[in-house]
Amino acid sequence: MSKAQEIIELFDQYVMPTYGRYPLVFTRGQGTRVWDADGREYLDFGGGIAVNVLGHAALADVLARQASLLVHCSNLYYTEPQGQLAKKLVELVGIPGKCFFCNSGGEANEALYKLARKFGHETGRYEILTFLNSFHGRTLAGISATGQDKVKKGFEPMVDGFRHVPFNDLDAVASAIGPKTAAILLEPIQGESGITPAKAEFLRGLRRLCDERGLLLMYDEVQCGIGRTGEFCAWRAIAPEVTPDAMSWAKGLAGGFPIGAIWTRKPYADLLGPGSHASTFGGTPLACAVALAVIEKLQKENLMTNARHLGAYFMDKLRAIPAVREVRGLGLMIGVDTDQENKPLITKMAAHGLLAVPAGTRTVRFLPPLNITRAEVDEALTKFTQALGDT
C-alpha cells in the first residue's frame, strides 16, 4: 500500500466523513507549490480556500520568534500584538472603530450576529437579513444565516431571526425590511456559491436603506477580504464610498494560522461590553503577531496591487479560452464557468498538477496566494487548458 493510501485509510477509519475530499495527500509546501506523499508537485491556485495569501512556508520566522516569547495568554490580561493588530486593522479600514478577535470565520460572524442583536435589543429588533446563495459558516447560527438549503438540511430547526433575500435586488431588500429587522449582512463577493460580486449600485442602495431604517450594514469579508481583490477591504474595490458599520475577517488574515476578527465603527464599538462576548483562544499573541507579519508583507511588497494586476491579466486570458463560458471576480478571487461540471474538471486539473477549488456545481474557483508571478499564472493557464482538453 502506498503512503497516500495508508493515510486515506486512517481517515476512513478515524476521521468523521464531513468533507468530500479529493484523494490527494499533501506533505509540504513552498511558495505557490505543494508536494504530495508520492513527491508529485502541484501549483496551488486554491490557496487553502483563500487562506494562504503569502503561499506556503512563508511565516516560519515570525511563528518561531513569537512562539519563543508567548504563545497564549488569557484575555484576562493585555498583550501588545493584539492591541497592535487591532490598531492596524482599524487603520486599514480607515474608519474609527474597534476590533474583537476569535479563531475562524464562522466565529467572527457569530460576533456580528451578537453585535446586531445587542444593537437592536432595546427596540425589540433582532432580525438579520442575509442573501440567497450566501455562505456565512457552519455554526448553527451560521447555517441559519446562510442562504442555501443544502447546509441546513437535517439540522432544523434553524436559529430564529434570519431571512434571505435575492442578491443584488434592492427592491426585494426594501420590501423585506420589517419592524424586527436590525441589520443586513452580506458578502461583498459571494464566494462559496460561485463568485458573484455585489453591484456598486446595490451596495449604495443598501447603505441608503440602512440609514433610512436605522439598520446596521455588515460585510462578511471572511473570504473576499485581506487584499485579495486588490484592496484590503473588498467593498472598496466595488464601491469605496459605501462604508459598513461592521465587518468580519478570517481565512487569509494570518496567512494560514487560525484567526478571526470583527471590526465595528464608533458609536457601536463598545456595544459588546465586559462579559458579553469572549473566546479563550481569541487574539493570542501568536496569532496576532503572525497576522501583523502578513499585513506588513502585503503592504511592503505591494501584494494587493499585484493581486489587482495579475487578477485582471488572469481573467482576460481565461476569457479567451474557447471552453470557458463565463469568468467572474475581482483581483485574485476568480470564478470560471466552463462547459464541464466543476468537480471532475478539478480532478483532471490536479492530474496536470494544478489545484483549484469548486464553488456551486459549475464554477472552478481560483484563490491563489497574492504574491504569485505572471509566469505562474501562465503555467496555471497551460495546465487548465490541458485539463479542459482531456476527455
Residue 75 beta carbon to ligand PLP: minimum distance, rounded to whole angstroms: 20
Using CB under 6 A, which of 43, 141, 222, 304 touches ligand PLP?
222
Nearer to ligand PLP (CB atom), residue 105 or residue 282: 105
Interface with ligand PLP by CB under 6 A: which range of 70-78, 219-227, 286-294, 307-315? 219-227
Longest dimension (CA), the chain: 65
Residue 141 beta carbon to ligand PLP: minimum distance, rounded to whole angstroms: 11
Alpha carbon 136 to chain centroid distance?
Answer: 9
Using CB under 6 A, which of 31, 137, 252, 255 touches ligand PLP?
137
Pair 234, 71: CB distance under 8 Å? no
Residue 138 beta carbon to ligand PLP: minimum distance, rounded to whole angstroms: 6
Q: Please, what is the Cα angle at 302 between 299 and 304, to 5 degrees?
A: 90
Cell of 328: 467572474
Residue 234 beta carbon to ligand PLP: minimum distance, rounded to whole angstroms: 10
Nearer to ligand PLP (CB atom), residue 98 or residue 136: 136
Pair 282, 102: CB distance under 8 Å? yes
Q: Does 164 bind ligand PLP (CB under 6 A)?
A: no
Using CB under 6 A, which of 250, 271, 295, 350 touches ligand PLP?
250
Instruction: Determine the residue type at 113.
Output: Y
Q: Does 106 bind ligand PLP (CB under 6 A)?
A: yes
The interface mask with ligand PLP, positions 175-194, x = CB under 6 A, is ------------x---xx--
Q: Does 220 bind ligand PLP (CB under 6 A)?
A: yes
Interface with ligand PLP by CB under 6 A: which range of 115-123, 132-140, 262-270, 347-355? 132-140
Read off φ and ψ for residue 361, nearest 5 degrees: -105, -20
Q: Which strand (E) or helix (H) includes residue 72? A: none
Residue 30 beta carbon to ligand PLP: minimum distance, rounded to whole angstroms: 24
Nearer to ligand PLP (CB atom), residue 197 or residue 353: 197
Read off φ and ψ for residue 305, nearest 5 degrees: -65, -40
Cell of 115: 453585535
**Total site size for ligand PLP, rule CB under 6 A:** 14
Alpha carbon distance 154, 19 (integer Å): 16
Alpha carbon distance 274, 267 (integer Å): 16
Q: Does 104 bind ligand PLP (CB under 6 A)?
A: yes
DSSP labels for 134-156? ----SSHHHHHHSB-HHHHTTSP
* Other residues' Cβ atoms within 10 Å of the Cβ of residue 17: 8
Which residues contact ligand PLP by CB under 6 A?
104-106, 109, 135-137, 187, 191-192, 220, 222-223, 250
